[in-house]
Structure 1
Amino acid sequence: MKSCSHKRKIKSIAALAACCLFVSAGTGVFPSFAHTPDESRFLNGTWEKDDHGWWFANKGNPAYFTSTWAEYQGYSYYFGADGYLVTGWNYINNHWYRFNPEKGSHEGAMMTGWIFDPDYNGWFYTNPSGILVTGWNKIGGEWYYFNPDSDGTMGLMAVNQVIDGYYVNSDGKMNEPWTVTCIGAFEIIKRDWNQTA
């Protein structure tokens, strides 16, 4: 009885060692798409880049990944309808997302938080899920206003203007201790609550 139990232990240890070896070899050779619903789809293929951008070539399968999300080393990516990783602003499932347009190791990675876009010379903000925010949002204890209109500048942070009766400064922060009084059609006077008239 004792030798039978000993043999089972040895077989169990050998099986465990083989599994560990297989797993470590697999993670060393193939990229990890841990959050992808079916990561096995990335095991038989290679990343390719051409003049248009990055795409994934499946070995033995001529189909490209299209219109789907992928996670790689903690970053989220999206394959467009043409099979290429998207960059810049993209509208996906009724939401706007920003993907890193810069060349390099994180090209195409979904961006979150504060984003300066030189094309608009202004700031945008995307939530932790990468979705562009609009309207009033409290971020880091401060209120900011982001354009909610689909006018080509949706999500652009408002600066130096009055929104809903509140003044937002050059940093986009709502100045709560200020009141705004309009004189005539265009002239605006800002007065601190603590000032005397």
Structure 2
Amino acid sequence: NGDMQTGWVQSPYSGKWFYMNPSNGDMQTGWVQSPYSGKWFYMNPSNGDMMTGWIQSPVSGKWYYMGSDGAMVTNTTVNGYVLGADGAWVR
């Protein structure tokens, strides 16, 4: 209908999720904290789609695990890798 979309948007073509800025509708990239749940998500810097699985922060170089829902996993062990309170892999 042409209305600006904001918040979480799923592509009807690819099924991938994107996050659009609630104020202006701009597609978000990089780290995004959901205003609804407070959880952290990582949006692909090149195309904005929500990442899942292991990602490496281009800024800190730290590794994080994003669950199947895209949310950063904290204070747990995934496949033998310990994740701290900040979500980063504890080496």
TM-score, length-scaled by structure 2: 0.88
What is the count of residue pairs matched by the alignment?
86
1:137 corresponds in structure 2 to: 55
Q: Detail structure 1 runs of 4+ shifted over 3 Å in the superposition.
A: none
Q: Which has the larger radius of gyration?
A: 1
2:34 corresponds in structure 1 to: 117
Please list every run of 5 or more consecutive structure 2 residues that lacks an aligned counterpart in the other structure.
Answer: none
Residues 1-197 of structure 1 mapped to structure 2, 5 A cutoff: 82-92=1-11, 93-102=14-23, 107-128=24-45, 129-140=47-58, 141-148=61-68, 154-176=69-91
TM-score, length-scaled by structure 1: 0.42
Note the alpha carbon deviations across 1:93-119, whole angstroms, 9 max, x for none. Answer: 2210000013xxxx1000000001131
Note the alpha carbon deviations across 1:162-189, whole angstroms, 9 max, x for none. Answer: 111111111110002xxxxxxxxxxxxx
| Higher-helix-fraction structure | 1
Coordinate RMSD, CA, aligned: 1.0
Name which structure has the greater RCO, CA cutoff 8 Å, separation 6+. 2
